[in-house]
């Protein structure tokens, strides 16, 4: 497979277009341009930047089908899900455009004996975003929107397989009125990213990606004393303590897991099921998974599953499934690739996963459901917390107090009771442990790359 920035159809494997990497001179020009733009962009009234972002939100909404088609073409997301992603981006942009001034309002700390102390939130300068392919619009917008509203400028390095998406985002930024240089897409190599992080004009870096990428970026950011926000992997527990309708619970768990072809950081990757409902739950979920067939993501029908984003993703996932099988896990259904062009992996259900297998401790990024049997709430909590990850988790029970008591003991950044992954533009997103640090979205999303400036005023005597 080509290592360049490209558009390659995951449903067929067809390489449609390739793009050259930036030259080192291009990188230096981008750095100069974003620094120059910061002076003018940060000097604009926040209300004016808000008007630009509202225009951007309108453009995303008005062109949702076009933008979605690009995501479907280059990373395989089914069209319905892709349109939903674009429209969610419009909501995120509007949230920051409408709420930005309130979220950054001056905060009086004290006023005693003629002395006033005020906390102000001010932009810090150009920031770098390194974003993945699995949500090619959402990941970019949740980073860019609050920073642009605040007055920071943005350099954005997208995933190599999302070249078309990256160019469309930049084009609509410009059309909305984002100042030239205030948002710049860069087709950088990994070595050039190191150069950008080291440059004194860059004031911070945000990455969404793998543990390996996060470790590399955090190390470089630390060496150069740059603020970093990392949203890394996840192996979220999905605990079902009891159910009034086990088949329905199994159906909901499966289709939550298969959203975005299972390529979601907060996907319910580990289903932890109480012993008294386990057998019925596994049987129902396995039957449903076995009925699914591969489909064209550009014209997806109910009962069809989409391809993974790349051949490397499909091969890597199959390696994990096969290793789990050899280690003693039971493959209830799936575990193979259909004899078709493209990067499809059949929905797979794994049970009896031994602690010695890679699947027990690694993130499986694709349509694989891992199901664990537990005998008690304490065992469920111990299993849930045994992961090195701590992004999100869910607990289900007909007894809300019982679910709350279990949820209170989960070591995750986000926990949901009787719901799966209840996010929103106004709710913070982020994890603990090896899932990273920092928060995006909501009020906290505007509080990461910000100068929390203390101002004191003493009355003259």
Q: What is the pLDDT of residues 206-230, one digit of tens each?
A: 999 999 999 999 999 999 999 999 9
Q: Is 411 or 299 the better-scoring residue by pLDDT?
A: 411
Compute the residue count for the chain.
Answer: 461
pLDDT band at 133 (very low <50, low <70, confident <90, very high): very high
pLDDT of residue 127: 98
Gap between the Cα atoms of 21 and 132, Å rounded: 17
- Residues 436-458: what's their mean pLDDT? 96
Q: Quick check: 173 pLDDT over 90?
A: yes
Confidence of residue 451 (pLDDT cuts 50, 70, 90): very high
Q: What is the predicted pLDDT for the residue at 301?
A: 83
Question: Is it the case that residue 461 has pLDDT exceeding 80?
Answer: no
The whole-number pLDDT of residue 282 equals: 98
What is the radius of gyration, based on Cα positions, of the chain? 23
Q: Residue 386: is its pLDDT beyond 60?
A: yes
**Given this model, what pLDDT does residue 112 score?**
73
> Of 265, 362, 425, 448, which residue is the catalytic one?
265
Region 240-252: mean pLDDT is: 98
Q: For residue 115, is pLDDT > 90?
A: no
pLDDT at 114: 73
**1 pLDDT above the threshold of 70:** no
SS3 207: strand
What is the share, in percent, of the chain residues with pLDDT greater than 90? 95
Would the pLDDT of 3 be above 90? no
pLDDT at 65: 98
User: In terms of C-beta distances under 8 Å and separation of at least 24 residues, what long-range contacts does 5-9 make, across chains too?
Assistant: 5/160, 5/163, 5/166, 5/187, 6/160, 6/161, 6/163, 7/73, 7/74, 7/161, 7/163, 7/164, 8/74, 8/161, 8/310, 9/73, 9/74, 9/76, 9/342
Is 89 tagged catalytic?
Answer: no
Q: What's the pLDDT at 2? A: 53
Among the listed residues 81, 160, 231, 377, the single catalytic one is: 231
């Amino acid at each position: 497979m080509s290592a360049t920035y490209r558009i390659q159809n995951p449903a067929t494997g067809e390489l449609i277009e390739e793009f050259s990497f930036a030259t080192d001179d291009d990188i230096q020009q981008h750095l100069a341009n974003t620094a120059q733009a910061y002076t003018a962009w940060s000097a604009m009234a926040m209300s004016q930047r808000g008007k630009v972002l509202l225009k951007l939100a309108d453009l995303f909404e008005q062109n949702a089908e076009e933008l979605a088609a690009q995501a479907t073409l280059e990373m395989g997301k089914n069209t319905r899900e892709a349109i939903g992603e674009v429209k969610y981006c419009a909501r995120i942009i509007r949230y920051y455009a409408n709420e930005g001034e309130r979220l950054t309002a001056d905060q009086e700390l004290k006023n005693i004996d003629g002395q006033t102390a005020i906390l102000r939130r001010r932009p810090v300068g150009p920031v770098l975003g390194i974003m993945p392919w699995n949500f090619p619009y959402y990941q970019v917008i949740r980073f860019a929107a609050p920073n642009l509203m605040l007055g920071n400028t943005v350099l954005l390095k997208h995933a190599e397989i999302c070249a078309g998406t990256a160019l469309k985002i930049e084009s609509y930024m410009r059309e909305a009125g984002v100042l030239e240089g205030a948002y710049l897409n860069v087709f950088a190599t990994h070595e050039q990213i190191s150069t950008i992080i080291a440059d004194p004009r860059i004031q911070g870096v945000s990455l969404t990606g793998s543990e390996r990428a996060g470790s590399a970026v955090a190390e470089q950011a630390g060496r150069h004393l740059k603020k970093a926000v990392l949203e890394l992997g996840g192996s979220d527990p999905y605990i079902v303590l009891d159910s009034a309708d086990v088949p329905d619970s199994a159906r909901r768990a499966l289709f939550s897991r298969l959203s975005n072809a299972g390529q979601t950081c907060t996907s319910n990757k580990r289903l932890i099921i109480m012993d008294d409902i386990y057998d019925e739950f596994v049987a129902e979920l396995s039957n449903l998974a076995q009925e699914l067939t591969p489909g064209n993501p550009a014209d997806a029908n109910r009962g069809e599953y989409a391809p993974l984003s790349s051949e490397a993703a499909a091969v890597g996932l199959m390696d994990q499934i096969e290793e789990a099988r050899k280690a003693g896990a039971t493959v209830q259904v799936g575990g193979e690739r259909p004899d078709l062009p493209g990067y499809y992996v059949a929905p797979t259900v794994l049970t009896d996963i031994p602690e010695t297998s890679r699947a027990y401790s690694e993130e499986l990024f694709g349509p694989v459901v891992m199901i664990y049997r537990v005998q008690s709430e304490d065992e469920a909590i111990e299993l849930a917390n045994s992961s090195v990850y701590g992004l999100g988790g869910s607990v289900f029970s007909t007894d809300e107090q019982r679910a709350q008591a279990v949820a209170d003991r989960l070591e995750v950044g986000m926990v949901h009771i009787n719901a799966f992954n209840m996010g929103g533009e106004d709710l913070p997103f982020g994890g603990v442990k090896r899932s990273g640090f920092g928060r995006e979205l909501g009020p906290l999303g505007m509080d990461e790359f910000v100068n929390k400036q203390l101002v004191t005023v003493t009355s003259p005597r």
